A and B are shown apart, each in its own frame.
Chain A
C-alpha cells in the first residue's frame, strides 16, 4: 500500500539566503587550515633528548670524556658541599623526599584516581606509556654508561644504582609533565603549573646536588629525558586542542572549537566552499556523541546559519568501538564494518545525506565537506533549520504523524534505512517534520532493518499522542502485516537509547501496546546472531581484559 492520506513532504528546499565567495584551491605545499604539529618547545626538548642520548653513547665509549665530566661535576659539588650545615642538610633531605619512590607513587595514585573519575583514558594511556619509556630509558642508560655516584665527596642522602642519568630526577620530571598535561587545564592554569613544576624540579635538583646523590650532569640528563618524552607523547597523541583537559561533565568526544581550531574552521569554510563564516558555536552537544555539532553564523542580509558536524580521529575510534561492542553483544546483526579513516566516515555520511535529499526526503540540504586537518578532521556542512524544535518538545497532530509515516514509506521506496530514528533526529518547524543525521543510514538495508525504522517512527510519534491514533494513521500507509512485522523486529537495543529513556520516563509500555493491535502477531524476530567472528571477539576481549589486569597491577607500583 503506497497511497498517502494527503500528506506533503516538508518544504525544506529553498535557495540559501547567504552569499558565497569563490572557493580557493590550496596550492601544493601550502599548510592545511589546521596543521598537525608539535609546539616549538616540544621540538627543542626532543632535540635535547637526542643530544643527551648521543652524549651518553660518547661517555660510554670514551673514558676520557667521562673523566673531564667527573672533574667538572666534582668542582660544582665541592662548592655546594662548602655550604653544608645541619639545618640546611635536614631541609634538603625533606625536599629530596619529593623524588623518592614513596612520593612518586603517591602522586601517581592521586593522578590515577583523578583520571579514572574524569574518564580521561587517553591521557592515562599516554601517561603510562611515557612513564614506562622514561623509567626504562633511565635504567637502560644507567646500565650502559655505568657511572658511579659522585667521587671524592661524602654522599649524605639515600641512593640506588648507577648515577647517570638520574632516575629519580627523570621520573620526577616525567611525573610533573604528566600532571601538567593530563590534569591541569590548558591556558593560564597550565602556565602557572609549569612555573610551579619548574620550581619543584629545581628545588629537588639542588637538594640532590647538595646531598651529592647525583652530579649536575646526571640531573640535567635525567630532567631532559623526563621532560622530553612525555611532552612529545602528549603533544602527539593527546594534544590539548583535540583532547582538552576540563573539569565539567559532558561527553568527551566533543572538540574545542575556540582558538586555533575556530579560526581554522572559518578559513576552511571560506576557502573550500565559499561560506563567509562569522561565528562558530557548539550546538546541541547533548544529543550527539559521535561528532561535534556546530552552528555557524554566516554573512547575509539577515541572521543566517549553516549546520555542520566536526569529525575527528576520536570520533572514528568511537564509531569503531561502538560497532565492535555491538558485534560482541548481538553478533553481526547488520553491517558493523568500521570506517578506516575520518575522510571515509564523512564521505559516507555526506553521500547518504545526498541520497536521502535526492529521494525527496525532508532532510537538510548538503553543502559539502570541508577539510580542517588532512585525514584527521573534517567538517560536514548542511542547511540549518533555524527555530526547529525536537519532536519531543513540539505539538504532534495528525499532519505530523502522517509526515513521519511518509518519511518511512519514502525510505522504503528508495531502498534506504535511517537506522537512528529517535526524537533528537526528528525536528518540527512551521508544521513540517524534518529528518536529520544520516550518519547511520544504509543503502539496501535488510527487511528487518526497514521494519525497525517503521516501529521506531511509530513509537516516537506515539510519545506525544497515543498508540491508537498513530496505529490508525499508519494503516493508511502500511499494511497491518507490515506494522506487525515492525514490532516483532523491534525491541531492546534496536530502539535508540533516547527513545527508550523517554518511554521509561513517561511510564508507558508503548511497544507492548502496539504489538497487541495488529490482528496477526508474528513471533519476535531473534536479534542475537552467533558467528565465529563473535566467538573470537569475545574470547579476544576476555583475554585482553585478563592481560590488562595483569599489566595494570604492577603499574600501580612506583615508577622508580
Chain B
C-alpha cells in the first residue's frame, strides 16, 4: 500500500501534464488562450526586469519544434529544432544588453526595435545572428542551420516570432489578479 502511494506520488504529477493537454513545454505564446497571462512570458520578463519587450511565439511552422525554455535571473532563451535544419537550429535569447560589433543595421520588421544582422557562415547551411535592440534590453536570434536552403527557413521561423511589450504584459497580470498584483515591483 505504501509503495503504491509512493508510485502514485511519483507518477501523478508528470502524468497530469499529459491529461491537462496544456502547453507543458513552456512556450511563450504571444496570444495566450487562457485568462491568465502566459507563465513563460512572465518568467522571461522577470529574468530581464529592464526589458521593455519580450520575445514570443506566434505559431510554430511545420517542420519546426519548440525544444525548451530556459530562464534565470539575468537572461532567458528558448530553442527551436528543425527536421531539416537540425537540433537547436534557432536560439532566441533575451538579454539586458547585446554587442552589435560587426553587425549591420537594417530596417526593423518589429515595431519599437532596431534590427542588426551579423553573418557568421554561409557554407553548409547558414550561421548568423539577428539582433533586436529596444529600451532596457535586446533579443538575439542565433541561427545555426544545416539544411540546403538558407533564406527560406530563416524567413519561415522569423515570421513565427513576435514581441509583447512589457506594459501589455503588466496589464494582463494586473487584470488577471483584479488589480491586486503587478508584474514589476511597485515603487
- List residues of chain A with CB under 8 Å of any chain B CB: 38, 42-43, 46-47, 49-50, 53-54, 56-57, 60-61, 63, 66-67, 70-71, 74, 133, 136-137, 140-141, 143-149, 151-155, 157-162, 225, 228-229, 232-233, 235-236
Contacts and interface: CB of A to CB of B under 8 A. Distances in A.
Given A155-B73, A232-B5, A71 B13 contact: no
Contact of A148 (B39, B177, B178, B180): B39
Contacts of A38: 2
Nearest to A235: B2
B17 interface: yes
Interface of B: 2-3, 5-6, 8-10, 12-14, 16-17, 20, 22-26, 34-36, 39-40, 42-43, 46, 70-73, 173, 176-178, 180-186
B185 A153 contact: yes
A143 B27 CA distance: 11
A112 to B, nearest CB: 23
A159 B70 CA distance: 11
A262 B3 CA distance: 26
21 contacts: A50-B5, A50-B9, A60-B20, A66-B36, A67-B176, A67-B181, A70-B177, A137-B14, A143-B24, A148-B46, A151-B181, A152-B182, A152-B183, A153-B185, A157-B73, A161-B70, A162-B39, A232-B2, A232-B6, A236-B3, A236-B6
Nearest to B6: A232
A46 B6 contact: yes
Q: Determine which residue in B3, B185, B186 has the highest number of CB atoms from chain A within 10 A of its CB, and name it.
A: B185
Contacts of B14: 136-137, 140, 144
Given A71-B180, A236-B3, A162 B10 contact: no
Given A151-B183, A236-B2, 8 more contacts: A56-B13, A140-B14, A144-B16, A151-B181, A152-B182, A158-B72, A236-B3, A236-B6
A229 B9 contact: yes
Given A70-B181, A143-B24, A161-B70, A50 B13 contact: no
Contact of B72 (A46, A54, A66, A159): A159
Contact of B43 (A63, A136, A149, A158): A149
Nearest to B12: A53
B46 A155 contact: yes
A154 B185 contact: yes
A60 B6 contact: no
Contact of A161 (B25, B72, B173): B72
Contacts of B183: 151-152
A50 B4 CA distance: 11
8 A-B pairs with least C-beta separation:
A146-B39, A148-B42, A63-B36, A160-B72, A140-B14, A144-B17, A148-B43, A49-B9
B2 A152 contact: no
A46 B9 contact: yes
B176 A63 contact: yes
Contacts of A143: 17, 24-26
A233 B72 contact: no
B13 A144 contact: yes
A331 B97 CA distance: 67
A229 B10 contact: yes
A233 to B, nearest CB: 7
Contacts of B6: 46, 229, 232-233, 236
Nearest to B46: A149
B94 to A, nearest CB: 14
A146 B12 CA distance: 16
A138 to B, nearest CB: 9
A162 B13 CA distance: 15
A147 B22 CA distance: 14
B34 A146 contact: no
A56 to B, nearest CB: 6
A16 B130 CA distance: 93
A66 B10 CA distance: 23
